[in-house]
Structure 1
Amino acid sequence: MTDHTKNHSDRIYLDHAATTPLDPLVLEQMMPYFTSSWHNPSSIYIEAQNTRRAIDHARHLIASTMNCSVNELLFTSGGSESDNLAIKGVVEVNTNKRKHVITSAGEHHAVLDPLEDLARRNEISLSIVPLRTDGSIHFEDIEAHIQSDTILISLMHANNEIGTINDIPHIFKKIKATYERISLHTDAVQSVAHIPVDLSELHADLVSFTAHKLYGPRGAGALYIRSGTPLHGQILGGGQEEGLRAGTENTPAIVGFASAIELASKRMTDDIRHDRELQQTLMTELPRRIPCMGITGTKDLNSRLPGHVSCMIGFVEGESILLALDLMGIAASSGSACTTGSIEPSHVLTAMGVPFDLARGSLRISLGRETTKEAIGSLLTGLPDIVHRLRALSPKEQIPPAEWATWLDS
């Protein structure tokens, strides 16, 4: 039996930033709403009202955990829908003739694509702010682009590709102090899964997050909408979610979402301790074992997602590394799972100023609860050998250009 046909249980999964396995305890909570309490929660009969109560309980549980009012929490199908609802909902409800929006060049495509689409259709003017070399964005970077007609600023809390955490509470608090009229949105899909997030402390009007990044089901997400924030619904055709998001609610997924949020909160301290230890090992050992490579994103672990290690390796293609790791029984990624198949280097790395050729060798390793020291040991043994073999296949001279120097750790 080859490595590629190993039993699933023998493989090593290091792509938790893409999605996580469903926690068995979460599945246990969901099962009754697949089998017995499957009724439409909008109906009036007893069985349907049981499912309505389950949704109401889930909303209360998430609101309590995230520190917001139940009336400020709207269920969606996931992070991408939440981002689109926040962005298009603010733009469409605003009656100004001129509408200006600010975002950063490192945002998830669920933010960048709808904004660029609105700009192409001349519904907004758009300022896309470059990232700093560690992938962060600061208040001064944003303030320089604020105009009299700015209606929305959308900045991610933590970057899914490089793990850098932006100081959203500080940035948004300073913006609100001077520009109270501007709506503030943050994509917190990654941060909610890995660090404590108190919605009342973000100073955001709109916050997107989802279940499947924190051992919950796919198909359930949420948009926090601060009380009093005007928003135009995007899915019409029913009165669900206060008329802002029509469609029969996905009761099992919503129940699972709440269960996953509750478990994540209870396990957060242990999860962070576990992930930080293995993360530090990788960030120290990888540059020691692989020449001509660099860690991407901030190296300050206090400003980086726990368990997130991203790097770029010179003179190899990220895709080739991933295929070789897969044959070895290790699942990882080269960046966002939402851009898999793209031959272009990561837009996040290029927004940081990483040279094009170096950015093509990107690799993202994201750890989870089930990741073991043995798994990290296997990666540290196998990856250097893979890189050596791939480089040996290239006839090109492998001398790093001068412009790579500031990006390499070895």
Structure 2
Amino acid sequence: MTHGEKNEAPMREVYLDYAAATPVDPEVAEAMLPYLTERFWNPSAPYARAREVRDDVERARGTVARLIGARPDCLTFTAGATEANNLAFAAVEGHVVVDAIEHESVLACAGTHARRTVRVGADGIVDAAAVARAIRPDTELVSVELANGEIGCVQPVREISRVVATERARRLEAGEDTPIYLHSDASQAAGALSVNVATLGVDLLTLSAAKIYGPKQVGVLWASEDVRLRPLVYGGGQEGGVRSGTENVAGVVGFARALELACERRGEEGRRLAGLRERLREGLLARVPSMVVTGPKSPKRRLPGLLHVSFAGVEARRLVIALERAGVSVGTGSACAASRMRVSHVLEAIGMPRELAEGSLRLTLGRGTTEEDVDYAVEAIADAVRAEMARVGTDAAAMAALAGGWGRR
């Protein structure tokens, strides 16, 4: 019997969508629990117990700041990365520059400004020289993510920071007073890469707890002291008046602990995930040689736990359903941008042919992934692809022809 037959209980449950959501780490949950029970006090209240909780929030802020090489008073906790990105763009009124494969929250924010969008190559990498050409005298913000959560490319943010610094110096010398800042959404990168703000050379940085085994709906925006943030939410004046509302104490504490663990485990876990990713890639290519792998060739430019694959002429939606029946949960990097039934803007931006984009899967590995999980997933995915090929009457040669030589193996 195949993995995908109806009424057959899955032999194994394998989760391969860690880029979408990570489980809360047990140590993070343990750190959060007191603030959901006995330490429930409002940090803004005047009595001693509330002040203790306020101190706990500030200790967590200090931990996050230390881990990214920042000052605590430059951090604003938010209800997730999307809000943090909105807050970053609200800090400027003028022209902005973004690249074409940014997260939709960044692209939507850019859409409220005059903007230029920088194209990317087939590997998804942003060219720093193209960013330099896109900057105008009235550009106030450049936003480039540290790593893309769909195809896994790691962007040259440090190079782009030098472009922004050069333009800032030119303006200073010319007596121009228009500021220019560099923002980076590092939400997908923080579990695998250093997010030290000085090393990156950024002026604003977005992080999300939900991507690093912390709680959902908790994010942070770091902004240098040169950036003046404008509130999106008004009220009680919390977060230095930038983000009003009673603090999510449990979430903030959980965020700090999650980032600590991510930094402690980053090296060893990154090497483990890279090995599993290659095991997955090689296993799939051995069974479906016509599969196309998307993203940069250099391991240094790729997130260790992300593999984006495409099968020309096959519908990813049907693969997802078949794999779910087999106990394997995967994300699509493709066909419908989930429920909207359209090809992902990322795949469009890198020039992937539609026939290939519609058969794309994003496979992301995490702390819970084992070699046995990978081996099971390889067989399940290969079975599902072969079943779809048989259903639509295609073969490996036809798949390769539809791909049109695009991408790599």
TM-score scaled by length of structure 2: 0.92
Work out which of the residue numbers 50, 53, 56 in structure 2 matches 1:54. 56
Q: In 1, Cα distance between the equivalents of 2:223 and 2:336?
A: 25
SS of the residue corresponding to residue 204 of structure 1 reads coil
Aligned 8 A contact 1:90 1:183 in 2: no
Give how far 1:274 is off. Answer: 1.0
Deviations 1:87-113 (A, max 9, x none): 12323xxxxxxx221111101011011
Deviation at 1:354, TM superposition (A): 0.7
Equivalent AA in structure 1 for residue 324 of structure 2: D
Q: Is the 8 A contact 1:59 1:258 kept in 2?
A: yes
C-alpha deviation, 1:368, in angstroms: 0.6
One-letter amino acid of the structure 2 residue matched with residue 292 of structure 1: S
User: 1:179 Cα deviation (Å)?
Assistant: 2.9
The one of 335, 338, 341 equivalent to 1:340 is 338
Query: Secondary structure of the equivalent of 2:188?
Result: helix
Quick check: 2:203–2:223 contact (8 Å CA) kept in 1?
yes
Q: Check whether the contact 1:274–1:369 (CA below 8 A) recurs between aligned residues.
A: no
Q: SS in structure 2 opposite 1:407?
A: coil
Q: Does 1:159 align with 2:154?
A: no
Deviations 1:23-53 (A, max 9, x none): 1111111111011111110111111111101
User: Which residue of 2 is the match for residue 141 of structure 1?
Assistant: 130
Distance 2:394 2:307 in 1: 28
Indicate the residue corresponding to 1:405 in structure 2: 404
Contact 2:63 2:256 in 1 (8 A): yes
How far off its partner does 1:337 sit?
12
Separation (CA, whole Å) in 1 of partners of 2:36 and 2:259: 20
Aligned length: 395
Q: Given that residues 335 and 360 in structure 2 are in contact (C-alpha distance below 8 angstroms), is that contact kept between their aligned partners in structure 1?
A: no
Q: For residues 168-193 of structure 1, give each alpha carbon's deviation from its aligned partner in whole angstroms, at most 9, with x where no partner exists.
A: 01111232122353111111001112
Sequence identity percentage: 35
Where 2:210 maps in the other structure, the secondary structure is coil
Picking from 353, 356, 360, the partner of 1:355 is 353
Q: Distance in 1 between matches of 2:189 and 2:404?
A: 31
SS at match of 1:144: helix
Question: How large is the Cα RMSD of the aligned pairs?
Answer: 2.1
- Name 2:101's counterpart in structure 1: 106
CA pair 337-401 structure 1, distance change in 2 beyond 3 A: closer
Tell me the alpha carbon deviations over residues 273-306 of structure 1, each in whole angstroms, 9 at most, x when there is no partner.
2101101212333223214221111121111111
Change (3 A) 1:401 1:312: closer
Shift of 1:199: 1.3
Q: Which of 290, 293, 296 pairs up with 2:294?
A: 296
Residue correspondence of structure 1 range 189-338 to structure 2 within 5 A: 189-335=187-333
Specify whether residues 151 and 383 from structure 1 end up closer, same or farther in structure 2 by C-alpha distance, changes over 3 A only.
same
**Aligned partners of 2:43 and 2:51 also within 8 Å:** yes
Q: Quick one: structure 1 residues 303 and 409, their matched pair in 2 at CA, closer, same or farther if it must change by over 3 Å?
A: closer
Structure 1 residue 344 displacement after superposition? 0.9
Q: Distance in 1 between matches of 2:377 and 2:234?
A: 48
Give deviations 1:182-210, integer Å, cap 9, x for gaps.
Answer: 11111100111222221111111111011
Tell me the equivalent position of 1:80.
Answer: 82
**Post-superposition offset of 1:164:** 0.2
Partner SS state of residue 348, structure 1: helix
Q: Which residue of 2 aligns with 1:96?
A: none
Describe the SS at the equivalent of 1:222. strand
Structure 1 unaligned runs (5+)? 92-98, 119-123
Q: CA deviation at 1:336?
A: 8.6
SS for the counterpart of 2:92 is: helix
Letter in 2 for 1:295: V
SS of equivalent to 2:129? helix
In 1: Cα distance, 2:233 partner to 2:191 partner: 26
Say which SS state the counterpart of residue 376 (structure 2) adopts: helix
Name the aligned partner's letter for residue 213 of structure 2.
Y
**More displaced stretch, 139-148 vs 54-63:** 139-148
Distance 1:355 1:337, change over 3 A: closer
Following the alignment from structure 1 to structure 2, what is the Cα–Cα distance between the partners of residues 83 and 285? 38
Question: What letter is aligned with 2:160?
Answer: I
CA distance in 2, matches of 1:401, 1:374: 30
Q: Give the TM-score, by structure 1 length.
A: 0.92
Corresponding letter in the other structure for 1:168: V
CA displacement, residues 322-345 of structure 1 (integer Å, 9 cap, x when unaligned): 111111001110139994212111
Report the 3-state secondary structure (helix = DSSP H, G, I; strand = E; otherwise coil) of the residue aligned with 1:341: helix
Cα displacement (A) at 1:22: 0.6
- The AA in structure 2 aligned to 1:46 is A
1:292–1:409 Cα contact (<8 Å) kept? no
Distance (whole Å) between structure 2 residues aligned to residue 337 and residue 360 of structure 1: 4
Q: Contact 2:309–2:362 (CA<8 Å) still a contact in 1?
A: yes
Matched residue of 1:147: which SS? coil
Distance (Å, rounded) in 1 between the aligned partners of 2:69 and 2:299: 25
Q: CA deviation at 1:405?
A: 3.2
Letter in 2 for 1:171: I
Amino acid at match of 1:215: Y
